[in-house]
Structure 1
Amino acid sequence: MKIWITLTSAAFAVLASAKCPPCKTMKWANCDGTPCQCLLTVSNTTRLKVDCTKLVPKCFVMMAEMHRAREGQRTHTISGKPHEKYYPDCESDGTFKAKQCNNSEECWCVNSAGIRRTEKGDKNLKCDELVETTISFYLIHKPVSTALDTTTLKTDIADAINERYMNFSTDMMEHPLYIDEERSITLKVMTRNQSNDVVSMAYYMEKDVKGQTLFTNKDEGFKPTVGGQKLEIESIEVNYIDETPPTYRECYCRKRQE
């Protein structure tokens, strides 16, 4: 009888789990329970409940990525430069805390995208506020069969972002610059009152273009239709322009040959 009860309990657990659809916007989340809930593991002791109708905040995604890397689980390289790779400290809504220390005695200040903007200091370092940033995208698409009609470029890009990532309108970005010879699209997106959503959108888009999608379904990724032609984006560069200048400066120096 005891064995039968154990097997029946396991069967009910499988059935309950089977009723829960996978988390559309986060492939690493586990969904089960009655009612269904999806949880993202970000440490050995913490799982965060995520809303699978929205993008998971970038800060939470980075926590999950760093945890998976530490545990030797399959993950992708965290997008960005080496100094952007750390286990972040997040607010309850997924916003980056202004001061980051990466579980060490060394701390620094970040902008709303979690990008370091000061020199590193000790735990007495003061980061008075989270500085907002404008996000700049530089996209290059693959060759198309005919010349691209860019008359409705701004609307087309906004529609593509709205459809795949978040509630988005044309007034959130400057008019894109298109250079035909480079097959490049440059656009700037203001974070405004949707900072967390825009920051997450930029991270998800970068992952999509690099073939590291965070979505559960491995669909065609970010392929905006511009002037009636669907574009395949082959490369992306994401940069950040803070409202106040950063005090941190990188030195891209070539070591002198002896």
Structure 2
Amino acid sequence: MKPLCGAALLLLLCAVVCAQDNRCICEKNKRVTNCRLENGVCRCDSIGSPGVSVNCHTLTPKCLLMKAEVMGSKSGRREKPKDAFEDTDGLYDPECENTGVFKAKQCNGTTCWCVNTAGVRRTDKQDADLKCSQLVRTMWIIIEMKHAESNAPLNDESLKRFFKETISKRYMLNRRYIADVLYEKPYITIDLKQNSSEKSFGDVDIADVAYYFEKDVKGDSVFHNNQLNVSIDNKMLNFEKIAVYYVDEIPPEFSMKSLTPGLIAVIVVVIIAIVTAIVVLVLTRRRKGKYVKAEVKEMNEMHRGLNA
């Protein structure tokens, strides 16, 4: 009997040890659950996406990150390209494919819209009959940051080197997709470019990189206990704002209805100014015409008086 009890205890101990050995921490995504080692790879279930697991050795697709965040909290610069646009909607509960990419059509109740591969709305919001024929690729992402006032000037080359190394190492992005890092004090602009024809299998997507980076800069890192510290030549750098612009392979399809109230107000003011200028010009010409006619009439009367 004792040997049997000993064997059972040994099996139980082995099961506990094996279970502990099978656990892992997802260093690149804290919004996961049920993490385990599978063939030496740490895989976890993405919160809010039942049945979808993520590989913790690489970046998690942005769609799954947004889904997890919603479920967890319900809550002189360079001119931009003509078709570049910002994300004006912010966080929403997205529909994701099993691969983690966004579905081309997203809806909130009976209101629907089309998105790009970054999950950013690229059409006006319409009813459920809206057709989104394809998921349009975001080929160029522009990250623009404004840093807080610095006591000492920043070295341009050191700054560029820091961001290129950080993006390639921390976010695992191939350096060939980092098109440029531009410094125009106090603005730092990072260009990430990745055409569908250039993206190789296994390459992380620039949309995922931009999302991770934006969260890092805002102090809400997705990484597990691994905050990003921006230090240029041993000088800590803090940021006041960050904006992300998207350029798709096919231009977005926004109508006048989607313009912001501020822009609409500016357009209205310009139109009123033009109309006012035209009215003033017409009235001025009419008055001038009446004056010329009166002057000609008086000259004719004087001429007849002299001839009388």
Confirm or deny a common fold (TM above 0.5): yes
Residue 116 in structure 1 maps to residue 121 in structure 2: yes
> SS of the residue aligned with 1:138?
strand
Q: Is the 8 A contact 1:164 1:222 kept in 2?
A: no
1:206 and 1:110 mapped to 2: Cα distance? 19
2:166 corresponds in structure 1 to 160
2:213 and 2:246 mapped to 1: Cα distance? 15
Identical counterparts, % of pairs = 34
CA change 1:38–1:149 in 2 (3 A) is same
Note the C-alpha offset of 1:224.
5.8
1:143 and 1:231 mapped to 2: Cα distance? 11
Note the C-alpha offset of 1:41.
2.1
2:98 corresponds in structure 1 to 92
Residue 213 in structure 1 maps to residue 218 in structure 2: no
What is the aligned counterpart of 1:201 among 209, 214, 228? 209
Q: Is the 8 A contact 1:41 1:47 kept in 2?
A: no
Q: Is the 8 A contact 2:178 2:191 kept in 1?
A: yes
What is the aligned counterpart of 1:65 among 65, 69, 72? 69
Note the C-alpha offset of 1:215.
0.6
Structure 2 stretches of 5 or more lacking a match? Answer: 1-7, 76-85, 266-308
2:55 corresponds in structure 1 to 51
> SS of the residue aligned with 2:19?
helix
What is the aligned counterpart of 2:142 among 136, 140, 144? 136
What is the aligned counterpart of 2:230 among 223, 234, 241? 223
* CA displacement, residues 208-254 of structure 1 (integer Å, 9 cap, x when unaligned): 111111111133x15264xx455524132111122332122533226
1:25 corresponds in structure 2 to 28
> SS of the residue aligned with 1:174?
strand
1:33 and 1:189 mapped to 2: Cα distance? 32
Q: Is the 8 A contact 2:113 2:125 kept in 1?
A: yes
Q: Point out the more displaced range, 108-117 or 245-254.
A: 245-254
Note the C-alpha offset of 1:14.
8.1
Residue 177 in structure 1 maps to residue 145 in structure 2: no
1:218 and 1:20 mapped to 2: Cα distance? 19
CA change 1:154–1:109 in 2 (3 A) is same
1:77 corresponds in structure 2 to none
CA change 1:32–1:172 in 2 (3 A) is closer
Note the C-alpha offset of 1:118.
0.8
RMSD: 3.3
CA change 1:121–1:11 in 2 (3 A) is farther
Structure 1 stretches of 5 or more lacking a match? Answer: 73-79
> SS of the residue aligned with 1:61?
helix
1:14 and 1:209 mapped to 2: Cα distance? 39
2:272 corresponds in structure 1 to none
> SS of the residue aligned with 2:212?
helix
1:151 and 1:33 mapped to 2: Cα distance? 41
2:163 and 2:210 mapped to 1: Cα distance? 13
Greater percentage in helix = 2
2:97 and 2:87 mapped to 1: Cα distance? 23
Question: What's the TM-score, normalizing by structure 1?
Answer: 0.76
* CA displacement, residues 141-192 of structure 1 (integer Å, 9 cap, x when unaligned): 34445432223654442211011112321x3233332113xx2211221132
Amino acid across the alignment from 1:176: V
